[in-house]
Structure 1
Amino acid sequence: MPDTVTAAEAWIARADPDAAHADLWLRSAKILLLPLGRVWSAVKVQEHDGLAAAAEVSGPVIHDPAGRRVFFLVPTNAGWGYPATELLGDTCWLTVPAPSVTEPPGPHWISPPDGSGLLVDVRQLRAALVARAEAGQAQ
């Protein structure tokens, strides 16, 4: 597990233009504000649907309970367009917890990165959100 956490920290730090800055914040505060669009982008989904969809996809997913949002880390070139969601790219920043932070309070990983570079497949995410919407309409 420690090797995975170290690899994940290095992967997260690559998203920061200043890797030393990232390392300092990840190790001391266990949280970091990062620019998007450099290594990954993020799809922002409201909490209820996002938590349900997170169980259906592979890849790094952050839950922000205070903002009642879930963020799915996706490739920077991800084509996206789905109602009530937003693709956050190179004009946005995201609060990213250290990979060891997997419980509240505060932003935490539902599915932490493993350091391999695996991102959420947008086709899987869209399918999970469509299935959730269809299940809601059937009730």
Structure 2
Amino acid sequence: MPGAQTAVRWLASVAPDPGACVRAWERDPHGVALLPAGRAWDVLILPSRLGYPTLDVLSRVLDQPGPVLVDFGDARTGFFVPPGTAGRWLGTGIRTAGEGTWIVVPYPGRPSPSGIRWLIPPDGTGTLTDPSLLELSMHEAAAGLAGEG
């Protein structure tokens, strides 16, 4: 799948040695790589109870949100946002991965036996979710959840 290879190169570009990263990633039986956040992207990590409805709202207003991960057991959802966002984010219950942190990333276009997977895989062009739109989507999703309870 050509798009997956472009996404792999884009993701690996943040690694200290991108070529070695790709080679190791392709051989890893778990299909994951540990990549530094804060270079090409940061990640905002929401509890999936809020993350899934937020993604639903975002998908209604954007043709293509940035990459979105879900972790083991669907406990947390990670939205890829522009670098620097993590350092400025003020949100209760929202974890951040920015400069100085590393995240586990599954190989795009291939199922990962590790449990972490893409809800929206990267397209390789650098598309990221606008943090302002993400925040508005989170508020709308939270209001919907409050209305259910």
Q: TM (normalized to structure 1)?
A: 0.89
Equivalent residue number for residue 97 of structure 1: 106
User: Following the alignment from structure 1 to structure 2, what is the Cα–Cα distance between the partners of residues 121 and 41?
Assistant: 11
Q: Which has the higher helix share?
A: 2
Runs of at least 5 residues in structure 2 that lack an aligned partner in the other structure: 59-64
1:72 maps to which of 63, 79, 98: 79
User: Following the alignment from structure 2 to structure 1, what is the Cα–Cα distance between the partners of residues 100 and 93?
Assistant: 19
Q: TM (normalized to structure 2)?
A: 0.83
**Residue 2 of structure 2: SS of its match in structure 1?**
helix
Q: CA deviation at 1:67?
A: 7.0
**Residue 57 of structure 2: SS of its match in structure 1?**
coil
**Residue 70 of structure 1: SS of its match in structure 2?**
strand
Equivalent residue number for residue 9 of structure 1: 8
Equivalent residue number for residue 90 of structure 2: 81
Equivalent residue number for residue 48 of structure 2: 47
Q: CA deviation at 1:136?
A: 2.3
Q: Please tell me whether the aligned partners of residues 9 and 26 of structure 1 are also in contact (alpha carbons under 8 angstroms).
A: no
Equivalent pairs counted in the alignment come to 138
Q: CA deviation at 1:66?
A: 3.8
Q: Which moved more, 1:73-82 or 1:33-42?
A: 73-82
Query: Which amino acid in 2 is paired with 1:61?
Result: V
Runs of at least 5 residues in structure 1 that lack an aligned partner in the other structure: none
